[in-house]
């Protein structure tokens, strides 16, 4: 039975292990942090546990399927994927479901679930940038050309995300900049372009926040003020969130108060999503936090190792880009919990309560795992045969410097 189970988990077994352990952590901590939510909604004590369990099963199935679909198919749909992401973001801004003046979600008919379209757009953008940079590696001029194309896509995507979710836009932007650096774009070019965009963006946010032209800008400004001010003039709500999270972490110690014994989960807003890391520390202590951090580190390390063993630029860039999306979001959630940065509202990937976000992250994990299959000896031999067959069909003598293309 054991051999049959691990037999279906093709690819890097360490990434599979980290992924499965994070799903189990999700079930454990979502169940222990949703008591107040269950009380207010008069639902069963296991309602959210069962719901999260269903999503975890679907997410695992999605990862299993995507890990068995060749990443090469993503190359030819990269442009279409970008267009889809931009369309969904624009559609959400115009007709999406609004919460606190932010239109971030689209309601999916029939299943009655909401989809945060920035999750889809982030995946689509990563695929597109990986493709563009992989096909522009001949020389410095070609790399710069690819960087300009990628920059347009990044600015458009982040610009459409920003009105509803500034923190996600910044996170996506930082991730893509790191991917461009990995793709050999010169840092001075990125610095010049980034400084200009940052200045324009900052001035726009401040102006919109102070004039009231954009309600979300007021929230962004108030969060920054709450973080930088310690007196009573600071925003009480954002200070309250950060203060309660700090209390939860202080209560946790090294081994925590025990499962379900967290007191701050009854006070912290969204202890099952935005501040779940603080709840984890209070219940299971610094030990559990270190275990979870280690799982993300292993996932990133194994993804980088898989990328290093690729014979093509596209899978290497794609693997690192997708891993960065997951790990940087996890870091963002954690540093908010310990009050190193202002409140952002980023969930902890693969652990925080949620359905469509979990599934979208699982798609990324599935793609990473599929790429790792081609970094193994058997995978490399299979890829070599596929490339040679493709070259014969297309009458191509040498495509060593170019990513694999399929019809």
Q: Round to whole Å and give the CA distance between 382 and 201.
A: 47
Helix axes of 215-228 and 187-211: crossing angle, nearest 10 degrees: 110
* pLDDT mean across residues, the chain: 82
Burial class (CB in 10 A: 0-12, 13-18, 19+), 276: buried
Encode pLDDT of 89-140 as tens digits: 999 988 877 665 566 778 777 767 778 899 999 999 999 999 999 999 999 9
Query: Quick one: pLDDT band at residue 5, thresholds 50, 70, 90?
Result: low
Phi, psi of 275 (to 5 degrees): -115, 30
In this structure, the number of other CB atoms found within 10 A of the CB of residue 229 comes to: 12
Nearest to 305 by CA among 372, 251, 357, 402: 372
Return the domain boundaries, the chain: 13-375
Burial class (CB in 10 A: 0-12, 13-18, 19+), 386: middle
CB 165 within 8 A of CB 102: yes
Residue recorded with tokens 């973080």: 227
Query: Quick one: pLDDT band at residue 352, thresholds 50, 70, 90?
Result: very high
Neighbouring-strand partners of residue 98: 103
Contacts of 294 (CB under 8 A, 6+ apart): none
E-state strands within 27-179: 97-99, 102-108, 113-116
Residue recorded with tokens 């969060």: 223
Residue 400 has pLDDT above 50, yes or no: no
Encode pLDDT of 8-27 as tens digits: 788 899 999 999 999 999 99
pTM over 0.85: yes
Q: Round to whole Å and give the CA distance between 332 and 95.
A: 28
């Amino acid at each position: 039975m054991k051999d049959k189970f691990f037999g279906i988990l093709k690819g890097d077994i360490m990434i599979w292990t980290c992924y499965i352990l994070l799903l189990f952590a999700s079930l454990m901590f979502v169940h222990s942090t949703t008591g107040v939510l269950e009380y207010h909604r008069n639902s069963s004590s296991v309602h959210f546990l069962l719901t999260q369990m269903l999503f975890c099963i679907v997410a695992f199935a999605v990862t299993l399927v995507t890990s068995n679909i060749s990443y090469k198919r993503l190359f030819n749909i990269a442009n279409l994927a970008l267009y889809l992401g931009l369309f969904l973001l624009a559609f959400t801004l115009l007709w999406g479901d609004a919460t606190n003046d932010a239109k971030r979600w689209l309601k999916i008919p029939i299943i009655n679930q909401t989809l945060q379209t920035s999750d889809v757009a982030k995946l689509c953008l990563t695929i597109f940038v990986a493709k563009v940079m992989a096909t522009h590696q001949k020389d410095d001029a070609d790399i710069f050309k690819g960087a300009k194309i990628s920059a347009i896509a990044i600015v458009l995507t982040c610009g459409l995300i920003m009105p509803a979710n500034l923190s996600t836009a910044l996170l996506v932007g930082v991730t893509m900049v790191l991917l461009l650096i990995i793709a050999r774009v010169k840092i001075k070019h990125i610095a010049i372009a980034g400084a200009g965009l940052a200045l324009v963006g900052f001035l726009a946010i401040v102006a919109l926040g102070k004039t009231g032209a954009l309600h979300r800008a007021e929230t962004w400004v108030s969060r920054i003020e709450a973080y930088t001010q310690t007196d009573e003039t600071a925003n009480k709500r954002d200070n309250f969130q950060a203060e309660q999270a700090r209390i939860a972490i202080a209560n946790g110690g090294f081994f925590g108060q025990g499962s379900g014994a967290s007191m701050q989960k009854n006070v912290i807003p969204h202890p099952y999503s935005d501040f779940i890391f603080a709840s984890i520390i209070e219940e299971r202590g610094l030990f559990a936090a270190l275990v979870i951090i280690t799982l993300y580190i292993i996932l990133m390390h194994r993804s980088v190792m898989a990328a290093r063993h690729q014979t093509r630029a596209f899978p290497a860039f794609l693997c690192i880009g997708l891993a960065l999306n997951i790990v940087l979001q996890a870091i963002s959630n954690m540093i908010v919990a310990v009050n190193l940065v202002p409140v952002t509202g980023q969930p902890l990937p693969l652990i925080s309560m949620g359905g469509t976000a979990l599934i979208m992250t699982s798609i990324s994990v599935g793609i990473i795992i599929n790429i790792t299959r081609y970094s193994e000896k058997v995978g490399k031999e299979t890829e070599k045969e596929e490339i040679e067959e493709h070259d014969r069909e297309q009458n191509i003598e040498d495509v060593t410097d170019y990513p694999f293309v399929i019809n």
